[in-house]
Structure 1
Amino acid sequence: MRYAVMLVAVTLVLLLSACSSQLGYRFADTLVEWKLDDYVELNEQQEQRVDTAITSLHYWHATSELPFYAEQLQQLRDQVANKQLDEANLIAVYEQVFVAWQRMLNGLRPYALELLPDLTDAQVKQLMQKLNERQQEERDELAEYDDSALVQRTRKRAEKNARSWLGQLTPLQERLIRSWVTERIPTRALWLDYNEKWQSTFQETLMIRHDTERFTSQLDMLMFEPQQLRSEQLSESIQTNQDATLSLILKLEQSLTDRQRRRVLAKLDGYIEDMRELAEHFRQQGPAN
């Protein structure tokens, strides 16, 4: 899903929080502000308000959410170590990630309700133009590849991700990934259709940003119930692909060699340590004035 102004910040902070680079996360607020400049040009007063909001969200995320992520990863790590990972465990992880995402949106909501109505008509126009340009860039990129090429790209990306966790893949693991690629349903075009619908509705929402009641209701739908804008085909495809991915993860975990299992555990340990150290760093530093 695409969010503008403050909504962009959430996505970036979440992505950075999952990164093993402590340096990147510590300066996530600055990186977010740089990214915002790509979408809309704010005046000095707006920049100050956005800076305060991002800094506050960053501190909350570091001190409240990172410890939660570390705890969830620790449980996952122990299950992998004890060869106890099963479908129920993975579904539980997914549900916890969804809950964390909802908490992030709840934390963002008051800032979005405060800051988005402050945009001028010219800023709204600029913002939507940028979003539409990014959307068209993705359309153009998709048009460059036929179905066979897209499948090939998906397979290579999946193998690269698997190697980053497991190291050299076994023939069985390579076959599992190839099978997964053929089972999953291509959804990029469907997602682009959904994004266009979301952006169109978002633009309509910004047009009524000074009508507090209607604006709040519409923005809440876009943030918390965007699935209403998805096509039935996209929703069904998402579920099919999630099921296929769940099955792949379980089969790959069951196929791990001893060396690969040690590598996975070491990588999880690294993420856990980084998140705990970052949380402690921000707690000691305290909220910015």
Structure 2
Amino acid sequence: MHIRQACGRKALLLLITVCVVLAGCSRMNLAYRNLHLLIPWSLNDYLDMNRDQQQRLRAQLRDHLSWHCRTQLPAYLKAIERLQNQVGQGDINEARLRAHYQSAKQAIQTIAVEITPTTTQMLRDLDDEQISELSEAFAKDRREREKKYLQPPLEQQIRERAQRMTERVEQWLGSVNAVQRQRILAWAHTLGDQNRFWLANRAQWQQALSEALAKRHEEGFDNRIAKLLQDRESFWTTDYRDAFARTEQAAFHLVNDLYALSDTDQRRHLEAQLGDLHKDLSSLDCLSESR
């Protein structure tokens, strides 16, 4: 299962990007063990940070990752074990999927709260040139995503949406069969013009951040950033808000149906993938501090 919180392109802040990835990505171990590679690769995509800023960020990020590994990862391992057992017993249904989803949402919210003070201070320390770079990066981000996700005809958008979902599903189930492909395509049609709603919503959040940054030295900045990170729903567009419940429900139906349509080999593949993920994460050295 792939749950994603978009916080502005690859790295509005490395803290947000990496920590959110850690909450829902199957390569958590890679992120922990290759921190030195992630930092310059992500930040240089977004804005030019000076040496002092990069050094502070490295130290703060290591602290956050250590906190995450010691205090949050044990619960993730237990959740993976529960899901693996449910798959092994054929005991997956929509109610159980919703329970796992709610746990993931709470995990992401916990991370957002944890990193808010560091993120706020880091944003406050940006100079005018860096703020301008960030605004330009947002504009470039919007242009690129509009070209990729909005310019193609709607039918092409739907086909590409179905293809992306098929690739995600195959990571967990292995090759999908013809019936499962048709179910994914039906799901993609159900979302209709979701690309437009998603991108408009993303732009609105970016605009709210830009407005907050313009007043970064004024009273109330901390509260504005906390709201942007911890209460993203309050910045949703009306169209995105109206569509979200339908989109969320469609996703639950899709996952539930794909599991019901899966064969023995696919379920074994899923169980093995979960087992590999659990093994990978449980080998992290930082976990020894929490045991």
- Normalising by the residue count of structure 2, what TM-score does the alignment of the two structures yield? 0.89
CA shift, 1:166, in A, is: 2.2
Distance in 2 (alpha carbons) for counterparts of 1:54 and 1:24? 11
Whether contact under 8 Å (1:190, 1:234) holds in the other structure is yes
Aligned to 1:67: 74
Cα deviations by residue, 1:59-118 (Å, 9 ceiling, x for unpaired): 222222222222111111111111211222111111111110111111111102222111
> In 2, distance between residues paired with 1:123 and 1:47?
13
Q: Which runs of 5+ in 1 are unaligned?
A: none
1:184 Cα deviation after fit: 2.3
Q: Kindly tell me: are residues 76 and 186 of structure 1, through their superposed partners in 2, closer, same or farther at Cα, counting changes over 3 Å? A: farther
1:109-128 pair list within 5 angstroms: 109-128=116-135
In the aligned structure 2, how far is the partner of 1:206 from the partner of 1:170? 49
One-letter code aligned to 1:10: I
- Asked if 1:140 is matched to 2:144, the reply is no
Runs of 4+, deviation exceeding 4 Å: 3-6, 283-286
Identity %: 23
Counterpart CA distance in 2 for 1:231 and 1:144 is 21
3, 7, 27: which one pairs with 1:2?
Answer: 7
1:255 Cα deviation from its structure 2 partner? 2.0
Question: Would you say 1:202 and 2:209 are equivalent positions?
Answer: yes
Structure 2 stretches lacking a partner, 5+ long: 1-5
Higher RCO (CA < 8 A, seq sep 6+): 1
Q: Does 1:259 align with 2:265?
A: yes
Give, in whole Å, the separation in 1 of the partners of 2:109 and 2:227.
13
Question: Which deviations, in whole Å up to 9, do the C-alpha atoms of 1:24-80 show, x marking residues without a partner?
Answer: 441135303421122222222222211111111122222222222221111111111
Farther-moved stretch of structure 1 (83-92 vs 161-170): 161-170
The 3 A distance-change label for structure 1 pair 35 and 133 is same
Give the whole-Å Cα distance in 2 for the aligned partners of 1:192 and 1:101. 21
Residue equivalent to 2:3: none
CA-based RMSD of the aligned residues comes to 2.2
Q: Are residues 243 and 79 of structure 1, via their aligned partners in 2, closer, same or farther at CA, if it must alter by over 3 Å?
A: same
The whole-number CA distance in structure 1 between the counterparts of 2:68 and 2:276 is 19
TM-fit CA distance, 1:285: 9.1
The aligned residue for residue 232 of structure 1 is 238
1:38 aligns to what SS in structure 2? helix
Within-5 A mapping of 1:170-249: 170-211=177-218, 213-249=219-255
Q: Is the Cα–Cα contact under 8 Å of residues 6 and 111 in structure 1 kept in the other structure?
A: no
Pair 185,170 (structure 1): closer, same or farther in 2 beyond 3 Å = same
The equivalent of 1:87 in structure 2 is 94
Report SS of the residue matched to 1:141: helix
Q: Secondary structure at the match of 1:41?
A: coil
